[in-house]
Amino acid sequence: MLIEDDPSVREGLRLSLSRHGHDVDVARTGEDGLKRLLEAPADIVVLDLMLPGLDGFEVCRRIRAGGPTPIVMLTARGDDLDVVSGLEAGADDYVVKPVRPRVLEARIRAVLRRVGPAASAVTAQETHGDLVIDRGSLTVSKAGIPLTLPPMELRLLLELSAAYSQVFSRQQLLESVWELDFLGDSRLVDACVQRLRTKIEDVPSRPRYVQTVRGFGYRFGPL
């Protein structure tokens, strides 16, 4: 995943990385990058620091909070201080622009070589505020306290959170979570959502995670 706002740099690097055999996904902003990473985790992230909107450091910290995905920072600022703070924000390497594609490629390989074997063993977990969802161990914890969710509620949560901010109709959820194709109306989903909310929300009537979209269905994510 390449997160870079400058179109010429972006396309140049994308081309070069593709040529070296990488399957490259690109994002223009930090928000966009984070969103995509939730949907499709990447093996490594190349992250520009100077981004519109969310700051590169912040993006780095959030990626790091969400999992062990390695990060190579890419920036025009080569101050010692910048390098140090970049690495301390959780980056695995820090490369100063202008960068030759060959060098970036070599550094990416060095990081991937190191990470490679371990990466698969580490569980993928997402963090949303004080809610942590670990898809490997199928555990959910809130503010550090582990929750034990019943199967259906857990499946519902996994399904919703996998597609962050996407709206699901009840019909869709009945099919994907319950594997039923139900004809007609059912309040089944409502009931499950409700039970889930009592466990993961602070104030179930003012949900922060599972939102109701009146007339359509439900959605995972903040307002």
Partner DNA sequence: GCTGACCATGACCGGATTGTCATGAGCCTG
Partner DNA sequence: CAGGCTCATGACAATCCGGTCATGGTCAGC
Q: Under the criterion CB under 7 A, does residue 107 sit at the interface with DNA?
A: no
221 binds, among its own copies, DNA, none (CB under 5 to 8 A by kind): its own copies
Q: What are phi and psi of 168, to 5 degrees?
A: -115, 135
Binding interface with its own copies (CB under 8 A): 70, 80, 83-84, 87-88, 91-94, 100, 102-103, 105-107, 109-111, 114-115, 117-118, 121-123, 134, 136-139, 146, 148, 150-152, 154-155, 163-167, 213-216, 219, 221, 223
Give the total of residues touching DNA (CB under 7 A). Answer: 25
Nearer to DNA, 100 or 216 (CB): 216
Q: Which of 140, 193, 200, 209 binds DNA (CB under 7 A)?
A: 193
Alpha-helical regions (H) of the chain: 7-19, 30-39, 56-66, 80-88, 101-119, 151-162, 170-176, 188-200
Binding region for DNA (CB under 7 A) out of 25-33, 61-69, 104-112, 144-152: 144-152
Nearer to DNA, 1 or 154 (CB): 154
The two tokens of residue 67 are 């999992």
Residues interacting with DNA, by CB under 7 A? 148, 150-153, 178, 182, 186-188, 190-195, 197, 204-205, 212-217
